[in-house]
Amino acid sequence: MVGIKRLTATLAMAGCFALLSGKVVTGHVRTGKTPMADIIVTDGLHFTYTKSDGSYKLDAPEDAKFVYLITPKGYVADYSSGVPQFYQRIGEAEESHDFELYPMKGNSDKTLMIASSDPQLDTDHDVGRFFNETLTDMQQVLKEYADRQQAMFVAGDLTWDVYGKNKLIKQYAQKLGIPLYPVIGNHDYDKYVTPGSGANYAAPYEDDFGPTYYAFQFGDTYYVVLNDIKFEGHKRYTYSIQQGHQMEWLKTLLNVVFQQDNNVFIVAHAPICRPGGTKLLVDGAEELKTMLARKPFRASFFTGHTHINDVTYVGNDIWEYNLGTMCGYWWTSNYSGDGTPNGYKLILADGKEWQQVYKSTGWPLEKQFQIYKPGQIAERPNAVCCKIWNYDSRWQLRWYEDGKLMGGMNQFYSFAPEYLQFLDGRLATADYTPIRSNHFFSCKPSNTARAIKMEAIDPYGNVYKDSVLLK
* DSSP assigned state of 430: G
Distance (Å) of CA 100 to CA 37, 55, 163, 318:
12, 12, 29, 35
How much is the pLDDT for 15? Answer: 47
**Model-level pTM?**
0.95
How much is the pLDDT for 189? Answer: 98
Per-residue pLDDT tens digits of the chain, which is 471 residues long: 444 444 554 554 344 544 445 799 999 999 999 999 999 999 999 999 999 999 999 999 999 999 999 999 999 999 999 999 999 999 877 889 999 999 999 999 999 999 999 999 999 999 999 999 999 999 999 999 999 999 999 999 999 999 999 999 999 999 999 999 999 999 999 999 998 878 899 999 999 999 999 999 999 999 999 999 999 999 999 999 999 999 999 999 999 898 778 999 999 999 999 887 889 999 999 999 999 988 788 999 999 999 999 999 999 899 999 999 999 999 999 999 999 999 999 999 999 999 999 999 999 999 999 999 999 999 999 999 999 999 999 999 999 999 999 999 999 999 999 999 988 866 666 678 899 999 999 999 999 999 999 999 999 999 999 999 999
How much is the pLDDT for 425? Answer: 61
Q: Which helix (H) or strand (E) holds 313?
A: strand 310-315
Fold held by 104-360: Purple Acid Phosphatase; chain A, domain 2 (3.60.21)
How much is the pLDDT for 7? Answer: 54
Closest by CA to 332, choosing from 321, 342, 344, is: 342
**335 vs 419: CA distance, rounded Å:** 6
CB 120 within 8 A of CB 327: yes
How many residues does this entry show for the chain?
471
How much is the pLDDT for 22? Answer: 77
**65 vs 443: CA distance, rounded Å:** 58
How much is the pLDDT for 12? Answer: 46
How much is the pLDDT for 429? Answer: 65
Q: What is the pLDDT of residues 307-336, one digit of tens each?
A: 999 999 999 899 999 999 999 999 999 999
β-pairing verdict for 343-350 and 34-35: unpaired
How much is the pLDDT for 120? Answer: 98
**430 vs 445: CA distance, rounded Å:** 37
Architecture of domain 23-69+78-101: Sandwich (2.60)
Q: What residues contact 267, with CB distance under 8 A and at least 6 apart?
A: 153, 155, 181, 183, 223, 224, 225, 226, 301, 302, 303
- Asked if domains 23-69+78-101 and 369-469 share a fold, the reply is yes
How much is the pLDDT for 430? Answer: 66
> Domain extents for the chain?
23-69+78-101, 104-360, 369-469
93-115 b/e (C-beta count within 10 Å ≥ 16 → b): eebebebebeebebebeebbbbb
CB 106 within 8 A of CB 147: yes
CATH for 369-469 is 2.60.40
Angle (deg, nearest 10), helices 135-144 and 166-176: 30
Closest by CA to 310, choosing from 356, 363, 367, 241, is: 356
How much is the pLDDT for 76? Answer: 99
How much is the pLDDT for 197? Answer: 74
* Strand blocks (E) in 155-233: 180-182, 214-218, 221-225, 229-233
Within 282-380, residue ranges assigned H as helices are 285-294
How much is the pLDDT for 1? Answer: 44
